[in-house]
Structure 1
Amino acid sequence: MHISRTDLNLFVVFEAIYSQGGVTRAAETLNLTQPTISHALGRLRDRMDDPLFVRHGQKLVPTSAAQKMIGPVRQALQLFERTLGELDGFDPSSADMTFSIGMRPLMEHTFFLPLVTLARETAPKITVTSNRYDRHNLETDLSAGRMNAAIDVFLPLPDSIRRKHLTSSRSVIVARKDHPIAREGLDLEAYLSLEHILVTSRPGGHGPEDVALSREGKSRRVAVRCQQINTAMRLVDRTDLVLTMSEAIAERANIWFKHQIIATPFAAPKIDTYLYWHANSDADQANQWFRGVVEGAVQLPPPDDLMYLP
C-alpha cells in the first residue's frame, strides 16, 4: 500500500466516525452528507481490506484493525493541522477550533469557569471542552490529540509529556459558618474528634491529610466519601461534617457558600497542581496560546469577599 495512491481525506472521515460512533454524527461534525461519509468509509474499507466498523445497536463499533489505526491516524492528522496552523499563523480573535482540557471533577469545579471566561475574551469563536480521563491513559490521550492539555497533581509520566508547575497550596479545613469550632477553636484533638468528608473519585484509599496524620500516629474518621466538591460543600452547609482540602480550591468553591476556612492544626501537606501537554505540541502556536490561557486562569485570584479565619 503506497500513500501516493491513498486519499488522505479518508482518514479524516475514519477519525470522525471513530470519535462520533456513527456515520450520521460524523457527517454533522465534518459538515458533509451521510452518503459522502458512507462512500468514503467504503473506499477505506476496500483500501484496508477490513470492515473497520461493525454495527452494534445504534453505534458503529471499531474492529481490532481500527483500534490499532486510530492512535497513529490521530497523531498524523494532528501533525498536519499543526503544520498548516504554523504556516497560517494562529490568531485567537478569528480562530474557529476546539480546545480540549483534561480535568478531573475537582479541577473542573475549580478552574473551568475562569478558563472558559478568559479564553473567550480573546477567542470568541473557539469551543472549549472539559474531558474526564483515566490517569493511566493520560500519555496516550495527549499523544493522540484527544486532549490538548491536562491539569492534575504531580504524576510520574515519561519525558514525552511536558509539565509546568501551576500552584502550590496549603491544606485547610472547611466548616459551616456557625459550626461550634468557630467558638471553641480547633486543635489537633478537636480536629480528630470531628467527622470528615473526603472528596475523591477512588472507591477506596486515603487522602494526603490522612497520610500526614498517620506519620504522627493519628487517624481521623471519614464519615462520607463523595466525588464532587459541590456535594461536599453542601454537606458541610447542612451538617457538622468538615472538609480538609487545598486552600486554592477551597477559596473558589466557597464563593457560593461563605463557609469558614480554617488553618489545619497539624503539618498537612501542600497540594501542587501541574499543567501537562505532549512534547509534539511544544511549538504549536495554538497549543502555546491555550496553555497560556490555562496558566492565566489558574492564577486568577478568587473574589475577596470570602470568610477566612487564619
Structure 2
Amino acid sequence: MIPTNRLDLNLLNIFITIYRESSLTKASEILHLTQPAVSHSLARLREQFDDPLFRRQGNKMVPTPLAQRLANSIHPGLSEIHAALNSFHDFAPEQQPRVFNIALRDVLEATFLPPLMQDMANYPGIEVVSKRVPRREMEQQLASGKLDFAVDVLLPVSDQTAHERLHEDQLVVVAWKDHPVAGEQISMQDYLAQNHILVSSRSEGQGLEDFALSARGQRRKIVLRCQHYFAACRVASETDLLVTMPATYAGIISQYLDVCLMAAPETMPDVDVHLYWHRQYEREPALMWFRERLRQLQATR
C-alpha cells in the first residue's frame, strides 16, 4: 500500500520536479535546494515506496513504471494546489526566477528565439529551454508539465490542449541563384518538373506541400529526404534540387548561402503557426505572463 500518511507536499513537489526535469541537478536549481538535499528527499521517497522511482541512464534520471504511474496521478492535483496558491500572487519576472520549456522545431527556433531572447534580456532570472519533442508526445508532455508550451503548425489535439494562432508564414521555393527556373515565382508546371528535397524529422510520410499537391491529384519527385532546412538549402545551393520551406526562415538562410527565393505556386497553402499549452495550467500567473509576452512579440512581426 502507498504510505500516504507519511508523505508531505514538499516531497511530492520534489518528486514531480525530478520527473519533469529528468535531472537531480536541474531539479535542485529550480527548487533552490542543494543537490544533497534533493538526493536525500529522493532516498526517503524510494524507501517509502519501496521502489527506485528513477534510474540513471546517461545524464538523465528515467522514471520507473511506478514513478510514471505516480506522476500521472499526482501531477494534476499538485498543479491545482500550486495554481490555487499562485492565484493570490502576481508573477514578478523582474524578481522571480523561472524556467520556461518550449517545444520548437528547427525551422521555428531560428525565427522565434532571437526576438524572444531580446525581450527576455529584461528579465535576468528567466531561462528558456527549447526542446525537440516528437509531435505524438507533445500533448502528454504538456499535460505532465515537462513542457510549458509548444509552437508548431496547426495539429489535431484533444480538448485539454488549448491553442491559438500566432502568425502566418508563406511558402517559398529555394534554388541556386542561376537555376534554370529561377525567378520571382515558380509555375506549377516547372515545380512538378524539377527534383525536390523534403525536410522532415520523420523517416517517412509526406510534407505539408505534398498533402496540398495530393489534394489536386499531383505529385512531385523527391530525391532527397533530410532533417534540417539549412542542410537542405546547402544541397540546393550546389545542385538543381529545390527546397520548399517557410519564407521567414528562408530569408535568414539566404543571408549565408548563394540561393534565390521564389514564391511558391499559387495553389500552395500558407503555414499557420500555433501556440499550444495545457488547459490545467492556463491560469498559472507565470505561464499567463509568458503567453502574453509571446503574443505581443508575434504581433510586432
Q: Check if 1:261 corresponds to 2:261.
A: yes
Normalised to the residue count of structure 2, the TM-score between the two structures is: 0.85
Query: Structure 1's 269 and 58: CA in aligned 2 closer, same or farther, altered over 3 A?
Result: closer
Distance 2:58 2:173 in 1: 49
Q: Report the residue type matching 2:113 in the other structure.
A: F
Distance 1:144 1:44 in 2: 19
Q: Check if 1:208 corresponds to 2:208.
A: yes
Deviates more, 1:146-155 or 1:212-221: 212-221
Contact 2:54 2:67 in 1 (8 A): yes
Q: Which runs of 5+ in 2 are unaligned?
A: none
Deviations 1:253-289 (A, max 9, x none): 4344463221223411222111111112222221122
Instruction: State the match for 1:70 in structure 2.
Output: 71
Query: Structure 1's 257 and 150: CA in aligned 2 closer, same or farther, altered over 3 A?
Result: same
Q: Check if 1:119 corresponds to 2:123.
A: no
Specify the SS of the correspondent of 2:121.
helix
Distance 2:139 2:29 in 1: 29
Contact 2:171 2:268 in 1 (8 A): yes
Instruction: State the match for 1:283 in structure 2.
Output: 283
Q: Report the residue type matching 1:272 in the other structure.
A: D
Distance 1:56 1:268 in 2: 44
Deviation at 1:183, TM superposition (A): 6.4
Query: Structure 1's 234 and 296: CA in aligned 2 closer, same or farther, altered over 3 A?
Result: farther
Distance 1:21 1:155 in 2: 27
Deviations 1:138-177 (A, max 9, x none): 2221121111111111111111111101223332212233
Contact 2:200 2:226 in 1 (8 A): yes
Query: Structure 1's 59 and 212: CA in aligned 2 closer, same or farther, altered over 3 A?
Result: closer
Moved beyond 6 Å, runs of 4+: 55-59
Contact 1:160 1:279 in 2 (8 A): yes
Deviations 1:63-119 (A, max 9, x none): 321111123333344344434433231122223110111112222233122222223
Deviation at 1:179, TM superposition (A): 2.7
Normalised to the residue count of structure 1, the TM-score between the two structures is: 0.83
Q: Check if 1:42 corresponds to 2:5.
A: no
Distance 1:188 1:46 in 2: 66
Q: Percent identity?
A: 37
Distance 1:259 1:21 in 2: 42
RMSD (CA atoms): 3.0
Distance 2:59 2:132 in 1: 24
Query: Structure 1's 286 and 224: CA in aligned 2 closer, same or farther, altered over 3 A?
Result: same
Q: Which runs of 5+ in 1 are unaligned?
A: 302-310
Q: Report the residue type matching 1:192 in the other structure.
A: L
Query: Structure 1's 236 and 149: CA in aligned 2 closer, same or farther, altered over 3 A?
Result: same
Q: How many residues align?
A: 300
Instruction: State the match for 1:232 in structure 2.
Output: 232
Deviates more, 1:255-264 or 1:183-192: 183-192
Distance 2:267 2:234 in 1: 27
Q: Report the residue type matching 2:152 in the other structure.
A: D
Instruction: State the match for 1:157 in structure 2.
Output: 157
Query: Structure 1's 183 and 130: CA in aligned 2 closer, same or farther, altered over 3 A?
Result: closer
Distance 1:291 1:184 in 2: 37
Q: Check if 1:10 corresponds to 2:20.
A: no
